[in-house]
Structure 1
């Protein structure tokens, strides 16, 4: 009955949030454009993340009938549901109490991490999915059987290939194998070396990609950070971990006094969790930028499970008032999010929604002129959005360059294919159609010639004025 109820809650959560976001969210975030592009390139890395972010989009590329925006939201909330299940199992394993496991799971309802806050990211939702299972497999490996190192290696390898910040936790696990005698015994078992091999099989292709592309992802992270005192760290910590205050309060009211865990494996997990978190916070205290909240956010998915394990008494049953309140809060968050979008508060319900009809308009203009699907787009950044929303699903024509390291690019571009299928170019905002409008783009492709140019109006949403945009048509070879 417990597993059935858990499955019902998680699938209901994923389905409800997927349907809601598809219906009320005006457009996907820019991270979706990045993920699609990296999936199209099918490389072992990208300018910001390893290969898993792009690989998630492969099924949407293999089955063109799939709606890209529905796919974006569905994969997010299915991944979140898997991560929530991991939180429940980790909490039950650490606390040996199903009521405490449910309390940890329902505490997640107090955080935007599992709903509206996670939509904007193409990587953090994968960490939310993988980190709880990774740490559960670690606990199993040091307490039950060394064979669990194999599962840990797979989860850790995939999480590392979702975002490099996973190396913080993996580094903590590695230190525990060196410093804790009971964990250090893993080096006496061949299965541990097989686990190491699995991990390096997963991450080595990305290391090679980074070497070939001048370590673009690390250079991008470095470009986001400047030295300087950063007191906003404390605000970020409060906005991320505030649900733990409510969890502590519920535990106190239920007679469960928080305390240092007596179990050795639980203390080891605390060290693995806190050491990298403290180091990251210490670093960002003296460095500004770097999307601090984005770095800290995934750590919260582990926090409720770890907190319920640090109790002196075990909860015999879930307090009804706590269960009701936390469940009700989940509905309030869903209703509040929907209300904000439907009533368009602060333009949230219409932001950038004009890109959808614009993409369809441009795609139709190409088909009417040449009678073929639009295969390639280029020019201003606006063209990148057409790769997601234009019905033909065109590819970008920006080439990779180690000097400029473009975020969105085409890894498999061939000149002959461009000439054969043609290209649609989009100019900068308010730039008239003149002979020099696409000069910068055509410098990279001197063999391409503009067939005709057409001015159109683009309005991102009703909060912004319509602006002139020039379209440049490079005809397919048949024309």
Structure 2
């Protein structure tokens, strides 16, 4: 993929400088997170519970995120930063991989600028505060891109095996990684010289290794009636694409917002540049690893619904294209302007609460982008005395949000717990792993419910309401729950 199209490397484009900036940014985020007044988001709390029982798969996702949290909490405890640590490490690591990719495709300046820009785009500024499956997904996607470039250039078997490991572990992080194979296929087919690779033993060794890594998750799904695949089909509405109106405009705005205004516009310029240079293998590579996944999710968004992060891996190649486009402009300040806009957005989001405090104003829930992660510790503190008064009771909840948050908040006492599971198939992780069933009919229960579900209460011989708890977290945000003492479970059928 080499080409004569390079420029002299700036003294600022040094790898040690990028590493230093990434370390400083990570330390800053480690400092700022405890100042935000947040607990865990629902998905983070759920992933923490996965880490307490390691497996080859879970209801809604493959297992890597649970493994990572298990490793970080084993080393540093179960505190807020320890749970979030995998993301705080993996995003800077992905920045380094982008530096390597950009340097290999173009030069050190493009690599440096792309690596630094990645850790400051709004998508990473937001996701960098929370641990999610997108962190390992984007890391392994970038590692796969680098491994493919190296394998095609060197033909060393170790690079082909690295490619297979990256794809396999990426799929074990999030099934979106399967689109990597589509992108790689597009790239190899678009370059006549590379089509012979389809019969190359290195490629098939990579495919075999990826399949071997993913096999345990397939077997886990088989043994549990494919809950992860069913959940994925449900959220993508593959059985009824026309049942819901699309959210194409919202999705496209989310992509622009994920890159930031400057880099989003530069990506459009990068697409035009890549089209003009479409015979150049480097641009073919970046088009193949950005456009197909974006196109798939755009079609999904136009026909049904798509979350803004579903095409997140495509933004890696998109950012490389954007940075290369900006590097070709005579006025080099445009890259700094794009980067500066994202810095302003990051500092504004991280210090919005500080602004309200300094100005003497009260922040309301309406103006709080972090409200979903606030107040669960306060609610749990109010519920704790009722669990302590009934130590032999099983904690019962109706939904995964309450279960995940309460299990994390009560991690010191590790209560027995059960999930209300009235349907024929489990609807979440807790209904799959700890359903309320007839084996518990002799146990008392402490029900923690946001709504008093009469259909649920009627399935017990005795139901006593112990409290209705309502705590104000900030103006416009309250956490509420009813606490019931139940006994004599009668089963689900009437």
Structure 1 partner of 2:424: 403
Deviation at 1:165, TM superposition (A): 1.4
Equivalent residues in 2 for 1:350-365 (5 A)?
351=372, 353-365=374-386
**Equivalent of 1:387, from 407, 424, 432?**
407
Q: Does 1:143 align with 2:160?
A: no
Q: Which has the higher contact order (CA 8 A, sep 6+)?
A: 1
1:260 aligns with 2:277: yes
**Is 1:36 equivalent to 2:71 in the alignment?**
no
- SS in structure 2 of the partner of residue 49 of structure 1: coil
Q: Per-residue deviation at 1:189? A: 4.6
Which consecutive unaligned segments of at least 5 residues does structure 1 have? 443-448, 475-479
Q: Which is worse superposed, 268-277 or 20-29?
A: 268-277
Matches within 5 A, 1:67-216: 67-95=78-106, 97-108=107-118, 111-117=121-127, 119=129, 122-147=132-157, 148-174=159-185, 176=187, 180-186=191-197, 189-216=200-227
d(CA) in 2 for partners of 1:61, 1:450: 40
CA distance in 1, matches of 2:201, 2:407: 47
Alpha-carbon distance in 1 for matches of 2:100, 2:86: 21
Aligned to 1:299: 314
Distance 1:62 1:473 in 2: 35
Cα drift, residue 423 of structure 1: 7.0
How many residues align structurally? 452
CA contact (8 A) 1:454 1:472 kept: yes
Distance 1:30 1:395, change over 3 A: farther
Structure 2 vs 1, CA of residues 123 and 455 (structure 1 numbering), >3 Å: closer, same or farther? same
- Measured after TM superposition, the shift of residue 158 of structure 1 is 1.2
Q: Distance in 1 between matches of 2:423 and 2:194?
A: 42
Q: Secondary structure at the match of 1:162?
A: coil
Structure 1 window deviating more from structure 2 (155-164 vs 215-224): it is 215-224
Q: Is the 8 A contact 1:363 1:392 kept in 2?
A: no
> Partners in 1 of 2:213 and 2:423 — Cα distance?
24
Displacement after TM superposition at 1:23 (Å): 1.9
Deviation (angstroms), 1:430: 5.6
Looking at structure 1, the residues matched to 187 and 314 of structure 2 have their Cα atoms a distance apart, in angstroms, of 19
Query: Taking structure 2 as the reference length, what is the TM-score of the superposition?
Result: 0.76
Alignment of 1:280 with 2:297, yes or no, is yes
* Distance of 2:202 and 2:409 partners within structure 1: 47
- In 2, distance between residues paired with 1:466 and 1:307? 43
Out of 49, 60, 75, the residue aligned to residue 61 of structure 2 is: 49
Give the SS at the match of 2:482.
strand
| Residue matched to 1:477 | none
Q: Deviations over 1:336-393 (max 9, x none)?
A: 11332343352525556332023234345434654x9x9x532233233111122334
1:241 aligns with 2:261: no
CA deviation after TM superposition for structure 1 residue 89, in Å: 1.6
1:227 aligns with 2:227: no
1:459 aligned counterpart, secondary structure: strand
Which deviates further from its counterpart, 126-135 or 235-244?
235-244
Structure 2 counterpart SS, 1:392: coil
Distance verdict in 2 for CA 1:204–1:300, change over 3 Å = same
Q: What is the Cα deviation at residue 170 of structure 1? A: 1.6
Cα distance in 1 between the residues matched to 2:320 and 2:427: 40
Distance 2:282 2:273 in 1: 20
Q: Which whole-Å CA distance do the structure 2 matches of 1:353 and 1:235 have between them?
A: 26
* Aligned equivalents of 1:3, 1:423: Cα separation in 2: 60
